[in-house]
Structures are given as C-alpha cells and as structure tokens.
Amino acid sequence: MTWILITGASRGIGRASALRLAAAGARVIATGRDVEALGALEREARARGGALTTLRLDVDDARSVEAAAAAVHERTAGYGLDVLVNNAGFGEMTPIVRCGAGRERRMFETNLVGAARCVRAFLPAMRARGRGRIVNVASLLGRMVMPLQGVYAAAKHALEAMNDALRLEVERFGVEVLLLEPGAVDTPFNDVAFRALDALAADPDYGAAVRRMQRIEAMYRRSAAPPEALAEALERLCLGPSPSARTTAPGFAHAQLEAMRASPRGLREGVLRAALALGPEEDRPPAAPSRRALVTGAAGGIGKEACFALARAGWRVVATDMSPEGLAALGARAKEQRLAIETRVMDVTDERSIASVADGLALDVLVNNAGYAEVAPIELATDAAWHDQLAVNVHGMSSVTRAFAPAMMARRRGHVINVSSVVGRVTFPFLGVYGASKHAVEALTDGLRLELGGFGVRVSAIQPAFIRTGFAARAKASLARYDVSSGPYERAFTQMDRILDRLDKLGGEPPDVARAIVRAARSASPRARQQTPWSAWLAVRTVPWLPVSVVDAGMARFMGMRRE
C-alpha cells in the first residue's frame, strides 16, 4: 500500500486524482480547506470502494501544515508519506500593472510558498527512509506567458525553479521530485481566473483586451481537457515505475509548448497581442537628451555602476536605495565627477516609500535592479527566507513598475529594464529560493512586454551570470540562518566555499552589466534579453534545451554532489 497526500483535493485535478488513486489501491489522504467538499469526496470514494481519507490542510497557514504533518505521522504510525502531491493553487487574470500587491502576494503564497511548506513538513521522513516522491503540479504557464496572466505565470515559473532545485538536492537521498505541467483543464479553477476580469471590463487601457478574453472563455472551456485526463497522468507519476522528471499533459498542451518554444519571439508575441487587441509593439526612437532614468538598488555594485554609466551616457539619473549611507557615498562620488545623479531613499518593499518617490516623477528609463540571493536547501528554507526573497526580488520589482509604468503608458514612451539573472533560466542546487524569484522576474518581464508594448513602453531583461559584487560573501551570510554544521546537508555545505568560488569564476564584473543596461536603454529596438558575460550567454542558449537527465548529471558533477 502506498501513502499519498494530495493538497487542493476538494475539486478539479486534485479531486479527480484522489478518486483515481484510491481506486488503484493507494492509501490516499485528500486535503483542502473546504471540509464540506472533502466530506462529499470521502463518501464518493467509499461508494466506489476506494481507501480514501480526508484531512483539513490550508497550505497558506504554517500552523495548519504543521498540524497536518502531525496527523499524518499518527495516521501512518510514524511511517509518513510515500508520495506528496503539491496540487493546491489558484490564479486570477489581470494585467500586471493593475494587480495590487496583495493579490500578487496571495498567488505566490498559495502556488509557491505553500508548496515549499509542505515539502519541509513531509520530506524528512522520505529522506530518512531513502525513498519517496514529491510531485509538484505546475502549469503550462510555468514555461510560457500569456497576456493578462503574467502574475500567475510568474508564480508557476517560480514553482518550476523550486522543483528543479529540489530535485537536484534530494536525488542523492533516494527521493524523486517530479513535475506535472497541465495545459487547459476544465475545472473550477477557471471560474476564479476568469471572474477576476469582470472589474476591468471598462478599464480605459485594458478594457478591450479584457472583453476579448471574456469572449474567448467559452472556446477555452470547450477545448479544455477534463480533470480525469490529468488524473491519469498524475497516477503514472505517483505509482509508475520510472516516470519522467517532467510531464506535460494532455498531449495538445505538449504540442502547444513545443510550438511556442520553436516560434520566433516577435512573431509569437505579435500574434498574442493581436488576439487580445493589445496593439502592435510601437517602434519609437530613444528619448530626447532631457531623458531621466531611475535605478533601484543603486548603492550596490551593479546599481552603482549602472547609475554612473547612464549619467556618463547623458541621462539624468535618480539613484534609489534603502541605505542612506550608501547613497551618500554615491552622491559624493557623483559630485566629484560632476555627473547628473540625484539620490533618493526608497525601499522597494514599502509601497509608501515608492509612492513618495514616484509622485510627480516622469521617467524615460526604469532600471529594476534591487535584489539579493538567498542560499539554502529547499528543505531548510524558512517562510521568512521565502517571504524576504520574494518581497525584494519579485514584489518590489512589480510595485516599482506599477508606480512608474502608467505615466509611461500615458506618454506612450518609456523603457523598463529588469535585472534578472542566468539563474532565472538555469536552476542550481541550494539556489532554489533565489532561482524561483528570478524565474518569476523572467515571467513578469515577458508579461509586461506583452501588455505594455502597445502603449509604446519597451520591457527587457538583463541576465548576468554570477557578477563579482560580493555575491559569495552575501551567500555565506544568508546561510547563517541555518545550522548546517550537522544533518543531511553537512557534506554539501562543507564544500560551499569551493562551489561559490566555481560560480564566481563564471561571472563578470559590475561594469559589464552596466554597459548592457546602457546598450538596452539606448536602443530603438532593444532585445528582449541580454546576457553578460559569455558564460551567461552560453548557459541560457544551451541548458534549457538539453534533456533533464543530462543537465542534472552535469550540475551534480559541477557542484560536487554525489548520491548518498
């Protein structure tokens, strides 16, 4: 008998999968927040002769997850789970610049942080036994982005990164980590997603796109697969002898994904804009000499160099950071060099701080650079680590963009440059929290480009490798959150200095990134993404196309990781 726990099992894919797995003979623990719906599920399973029990579990609530873990320990007589299925999730359709910070955080909390909580709760028993499976239910939007769905896509991109890092970290303990990417499925999920558009039907900028999407809803539902089709795929992942690390279902979804990956970006995005009446991307020359640029995270290495490079290239720069001391040093150096750089204290995690800077300030270029890297195994990363990382790297970037983009849209001119990372495309073990945040940045960048291009606003990303700005020192400082002197990850962390040195050798210098930012800001038709240095260019163009097994083997060798 196999113990399987499924989150979000009260409806949709989770419900269909619970019934199917119970009928196959597994001991299923179906969980969710709706106790009444869980009761109905248990009665239906009993009528079918399946061994299914239910348990209330709210993945957004750390105490609820802890209580569920204790209940599972008791119910299984200390054995734990054979399979954890992280299925709970929801999405709301909305333009990124119309999505409030609270809505964005809620989507990440359920789709990403909730899954990480469940991993922390149930992985230790699997690891101790040397056997188990974790199945993360992502989405086709974990690898592609559609207009009006950028925030949800960002959360699922982040989940894919967490999944890949976790797979690399626990394979040596005998624990398998598998990913299911559903395409269009006819479930109550769609009711929540589409109903979120109702409030925007009369929006002056996005009303036409919203109404077009609402008309597409009926066609979408007709073409969507029933949840039972995904339950069949999930059964193979839970009970099959050698399942694939990544499964896209149904078959049409796989074909859709491959067609997207093979099509030129400009053509693909043009078709999507036309389909939703968002208008073509306007081709406008760079701004006049009076142009103004704002840089976040300006007191650090990349941000500081970007400020000076933009000022030397003719921009009037507003350098922002939460460190008054760092800004004072930057301002003094700018004054010595007679560069047009003014400094403003701004905390990207504080909406009021952002609003005070944005009030009356029109920008030609916004450089979203503020960020840092959290280093930890997924199993050990705390809620605080996840929340802090997302608050700066993801929600901070979104909040700053929402503050300045509307004025750019009204003027039909502007450029948003997001400083991402090669880790936004390539996942490394022990960098899963950071990688999840940068995968989200990549998705938000694509979503913003789709939604702002018709208003004359360009959006692009800079993807540095591990730039030598004290990355290694800050990475070690973030490890101080955890006791890694003993336990399952001790051996890996004894060689962290060597690993960080290897990553450092792949990187470049802050001026490399600053030059890439200036090139993007100057260009009349900037590339969607620019990499620097050569190692980032090579990684981004090769690793995502290689088989998972090849990437995992190469990463394990590079990071010095071996099976226990």
Nearest to 345 by CA among 365, 325, 372: 325
CA-only gyration radius of the chain, Å: 24
Question: First and final CA of the chain: distance in angstroms?
Answer: 26
Nearest to 379 by CA among 122, 137, 84: 122
Q: What DSSP line would sit under 115-166, residue for residue?
A: HHHHHHHHHHHHHHHT-EEEEEE--GGGS---TT-HHHHHHHHHHHHHHHHH
**Cα–Cα dist 553/498, whole Å:** 19
**Cα–Cα dist 533/422, whole Å:** 10
Q: Would you say 430 and 475 are in contact if contact means Cβ atoms under 8 Å apart?
A: no
**CA 299 distance to own-chain centroid:** 25
Number of CB atoms found within 10 A of residue 58's CB: 18
β-bridge partners, 5: 29, 84
Nearest to 117 by CA among 311, 298, 349, 386: 386
For residue 148, what are its two tokens? 């009006």
Decide: helix, strand or coil at residue 6.
strand
Q: Would you say 161 and 142 are in contact if contact means Cβ atoms under 8 Å apart?
A: no
Name the DSSP letter for residue 336. Answer: H
User: Residue ranges of the alpha helices (H) in 366-455?
Assistant: 383-390, 397-411, 432-452
Task: Write the secondary structure of 106-128 as one string of H (helix), E (strand) and C (coil).
Answer: HHHHHHHHHHHHHHHHHHHHHHH
Which one-letter amino acid corresponds to residue 35?
V
Q: Which residues contact 217 (CB under 8 A, 6 or more apart)?
A: 190, 194
Number of helices and strands (H, E) in the chain? 23, 14
**Cα–Cα dist 195/92, whole Å:** 8
Q: Would you say 475 and 500 are in contact if contact means Cβ atoms under 8 Å apart?
A: yes
Active-site residue flag, 152: yes
Active-site residue list? 152
